[in-house]
Amino acid sequence: MTAKVALIGYGEVGRILAEDLSARGHDLFAFDLKLLSDEGTPLREHASEHGVTLTRSYADAVASCELVVSAVTASQTGAAAEACAPSLPPRCFFLDLNSASPGVKIRAAKLMRDRGRYVEGAVMTSVPPYRIKVPLLVGGPHANDALPMLESLGFAARMASHQLGVASATKMCRSVVVKGLEAMLIESLTAARHYGVEDAVLASLRETFPGVDWERQAAYVFQRAIEHGRRRSEEMREVAVTMREAGLEPWSASGTAERQLWVAELADRHLFGQRGSEGFARSADWRIEADRVLKREWPTR
- pLDDT of the residue at 268: 78
* DSSP E strands, 148-211: 156-161
The mean pLDDT of 275-284, rounded to a whole number, is: 52
Q: Give residue 215's pLDDT band: very low, low, confident or very high (50, 70, 90).
A: very high
- pLDDT of the residue at 280: 52
Contact (CB, 8 A) for 288 and 281: yes
Of 85, 82, 159, residue with least CA distance to 120: 159
pLDDT of 62-95, one tens digit each? 999 999 999 999 999 999 999 999 999 989 999 9
- pLDDT of the residue at 296: 75
Domain range list for the chain:
4-164, 168-295
Name which residue leads in pLDDT, 138 or 226: 138
Query: For residue 110, how many other CB atoms are within 10 A of its CB?
Result: 11
CB burial string 72-99: b at 16+ within 10 A, e below: bbbbbbbebbebbbebbbeebbbbbbbb
Domain 4-164 has CATH 3.40.50.720: yes
Residue 73 CA: distances (Å) to CA of 80, 187, 253? 10, 25, 17
Fold adopted by 168-295: N-(1-d-carboxylethyl)-l-norvaline Dehydrogenase; domain 2 (1.10.1040)
What is the DSSP secondary-structure string of 105-146? HHHHHHHHTTSSEEEEEEE-S-HHHHGGGSEEEEESTTHHHH
Least confident of 98-102, 113-117, 167-171: 113-117
pLDDT of 189-207, one tens digit each? 999 999 999 999 999 999 9
Q: Give residue 114's pLDDT band: very low, low, confident or very high (50, 70, 90).
A: confident
Least confident of 104-113, 138-147, 165-174: 104-113
φ/ψ (deg, to 5) at 209: -125, 75
- Alpha-carbon span 293 to 266, nearest angstrom: 8
Q: Give residue 29's pLDDT band: very low, low, confident or very high (50, 70, 90).
A: very high
- Alpha-carbon span 299 to 266, nearest angstrom: 7
pLDDT of 216-237, one tens digit each? 999 999 999 988 899 999 999 9
Same fold? 4-164, 168-295 = no
The mean pLDDT of 123-141, rounded to a whole number, is: 96
Mean pLDDT of the chain: 92
Q: 3-class DSSP state for residue 206?
A: helix
Of 4, 261, 18, 288, residue with least CA distance to 127: 18
Write down the pTM of the prediction: 0.89
- Alpha-carbon span 117 to 95, nearest angstrom: 8
Q: 3-class DSSP state for residue 91?
A: coil
